[in-house]
Amino acid sequence: MVNQALSQPDPRRWKALVLLCLANFMVIMDTSIIGVALPAIKEALGYSQANLQWVFNAYVIFFGGLLLLGGRLSDLFGQRRMFMWGFAILTLASLLAGVAWNEESLNMGRALQGFGSALIAPSALTIVMMLFGSNPKELGKALGFWGASAAAGGSAGVFLGGVITEWLSWEWTFLINIPVGILAMLVAPAVLSKGVREKGSIDVIGSIFVTAALVLVVYGIVTAEHNGWGAPTTLWTLISGAVLFILFLIIQAVKKEPLVPLGIFKARNLAAGNIALIMLSAGWIPLWFFLNLYMQQVLKFSALAGGFGLLPMTILTAICMMFISGKLIGKFGVKANLVVGLIALGGALLLFATNTPVNGNYATHVLPAALLGALGMSLAYIPATMAAMSGAKPEEAGLASGLANTSYQIGSAISLAIMAAIAAASTASQAGADPVTALNEGFQQAFLWSGIIAFAGAILAILFIRSPKPGETNGPVAM
């Protein structure tokens, strides 16, 4: 990957970076653009409150579960080819989601969107590393824009979702991908080289096992609130998921060309960095998911008002990721920024857990905590990613970046499933209470436990992230 970077800088590299950041923006935006549209989707297609999370999780499960396969395919068949195939699949899947006629068809469209994104994301990041890897200063700047495009995609998706849902309809939160996907496929041959191709095999069995394990675990958690945690269906679903994951690890240990060479986790900070990404996503994703629902279902905001309500988060996140985070990392280091970011995110979630009344208002009960959460995410995201790639050999940089993306998406899916189950159980326990009050109590419990996870992530970072010794670097990523 990095060692295959072009010896001479590609004159098209900055134009290519624009396209690659747009792709990253779109991939991450698709996780969040449906947030504000969820109540409209629930009403139109008849989702239950508990099953509504599948509009999000169907995407991130297949995105996160197939990212490593997508990275391997890009290595074997060429980065540009997989980048374009990913956009073709994403575009067609977005059409299916946009014309969905029931819950199952929308979930299928979202799953296929996740598959397309799993081809796009690792191909795009590998191309970034190849274009800028020979110049650490340019690579740091490029990765700053890359990180900002991800953060902006997550936050801007919420705002755009509100605008689209209010002025058009929820279907257009998916259909908007179609013209962008067509544009990306038309522009890619002009600004992207074909990339490099390696010889080797594809670990299809490993890919199936790890994705199936993730689906079963999330499904078991989602249905546990209805079936009961001690019900045989719940237990066997969770046990089956755990067994498949163990088999995946065994396959990786014995296979000659595994999807994930387990030896990579011996690299300094890499395992701890991936755990940090899991904890970060486990705090951040429930924050925006339940904050959207709080504003619309409790405070009775319209979809447009909900989108505008999260615009300050979008702006703050973009500014911090592009202009501030890199400088702070250079001055205080990866570990300090990661710890402070996770503490700020945890603090924001605790504010939402204790200061979101039924009769709340935006200025007092939403904006301060939302800005604190955005600041925490902005401070922690790039350091966590750098730690997750820390110590990887140059030829393992692509694998390390794929693992980092996978950890973030898996953390998102499992944490949201758990928090949705907690929220549903809390709401159901409020027998005789006003329905909105009961719903809000569930949201507050989800905020509380998400905040505890963020604080736990900060503690783990303090204990296990190593600061570099004098003369030592943080890994293959320079910022």
Domain that holds residue 208: 204-256
Mean pLDDT of 115-131: 84
Q: What is the pLDDT of residue 150?
A: 73
| pLDDT confidence of residue 444 | 95
Same domain for 223 and 273, yes or no, is no
- Specify the pLDDT at position 474: 45
Distances in Å between the Cα of 74 and the Cα atoms of 8, 184, 289, 307, 456 are 22, 17, 32, 35, 35
- Same domain flag for 244 and 344: no
Choose the most confident range, by mean pLDDT, from 57-71, 93-107, 223-237, 412-426. Answer: 93-107
Whether the per-residue pLDDT at 449 is higher than 90: the answer is: yes
The shares of helix, strand and coil residues in the chain, as percent rounded to the nearest 5, are 80, 0, 20
CATH of the domain at 91: 1.20.1250.20
pLDDT surpasses 60 at 7: no
Domain-located, residue 155: yes
Q: Is residue 262 part of a domain?
A: no
pLDDT at 376: 95
Q: Which of 328-337, 449-458, 466-475 has the lowest mean pLDDT?
A: 466-475
Statement to judge: residues 283 and 413 lie in one domain: yes
Per DSSP, the residues of 313-375 read HHHHHHHIIIIIHHHHHHHH-HHHHHHHHHHHHHHHHHHHHHS--TT--HHHHTHHHHHHHHH
Q: Which of 94-98, 296-300, 341-345 has the lowest mean pLDDT?
A: 296-300
* Residue 250 domain flag: yes
Judge whether residue 214 has pLDDT over 70: yes
pLDDT in tens, 261-294: 887 787 778 889 999 999 999 999 899 889 988 9
What pLDDT, on the 0 to 100 scale, is given for residue 3?
44
As a whole number of angstroms, the distance between CA 477 and CA 128 comes to 12
> For position 198, what pLDDT does the model report?
66
Name the more confident of 151 and 280.
280
User: Does residue 259 surpass a pLDDT of 80?
Assistant: no
- Do 248 and 272 reside in the same domain of the chain? no
Q: What is the pLDDT of residue 183?
A: 92
pLDDT tier for residue 472 given thresholds of 50, 70 and 90: very low
Q: Are residues 397 and 334 in the same domain?
A: yes
Question: Across the chain, what does the average pLDDT equal?
Answer: 83
Q: What is the pTM of this model?
A: 0.78
- When pLDDT is averaged across residues 436-461 and rounded to a whole number, the result is 94
Q: Please, which pLDDT band fits residue 475 given cuts at 50, 70 and 90?
A: very low
- Calculate mean pLDDT across residues 198-205: 72
Query: Looking at 200, 222, 248, which one is the last position of a domain?
Result: 200
Task: Quote the pLDDT of residue 473.
Answer: 45
| 259 three-state secondary structure | coil
Does 152 lie in the same domain as 103?
yes
- Give the pLDDT confidence of 74-119 residue by residue, as tens digits: 877 888 888 999 999 999 999 999 999 888 899 999 999 989 988 8
Q: What angle do CA 103, 109, 113 make, to 5 degrees?
A: 140
Rounded Cα distance between 263 and 75, Å, is 19
Tell me if 194 is assigned to some domain: yes
Tell me the one-letter amino acid at 339.
Answer: V
Residues 223 and 293 in one domain: no
More confident site: 39 or 467: 39
pLDDT band at 345 (very low <50, low <70, confident <90, very high): very high
* pLDDT over 60 at 156, yes or no: yes
User: Do both 394 and 372 map to the same domain?
Assistant: yes
User: Residue 190 burial by CB count (10 A; 0-12/13-18/19+): exposed, middle or buried?
Assistant: exposed
* Domain identity same for 401 and 467: yes
Give the per-residue pLDDT at 131: 81
**Per-residue model confidence as pLDDT tens digits over 244-254:** 999 999 988 88
- DSSP E strand boundaries for 156-222: none
Is residue 479 situated within a structural domain?
no
Give yes or no for residue 456 having a pLDDT over 60. yes
Domain boundary among 184, 200, 216: 200
Whether 303 shows a pLDDT value over 60: the answer reads: yes
Give domain status of residue 478, yes or no.
no
Name the domain count of the chain.
3
Same domain, yes or no: 105 and 1: yes
| Domain annotation covers residue 457 | yes
Q: Within a domain: residue 436?
A: yes
Query: Which of 230, 256, 282 represents a domain boundary (last residue)?
Result: 256
The radius of gyration of the chain from alpha carbons, rounded to an integer in Å, stands at 21
pLDDT in the model for residue 155: 64
The reply to whether 113 and 225 lie within a common domain is no
Per-residue pLDDT band for 5 (boundaries 50, 70, 90) equals very low
Among 79-88, 221-230, 343-352, the minimum mean pLDDT is found in 221-230
Q: Are residues 373 and 468 in the same domain?
A: yes
pLDDT reported for residue 363: 92
Distance, CA of 244 to CA of 263 (rounded, Å): 20
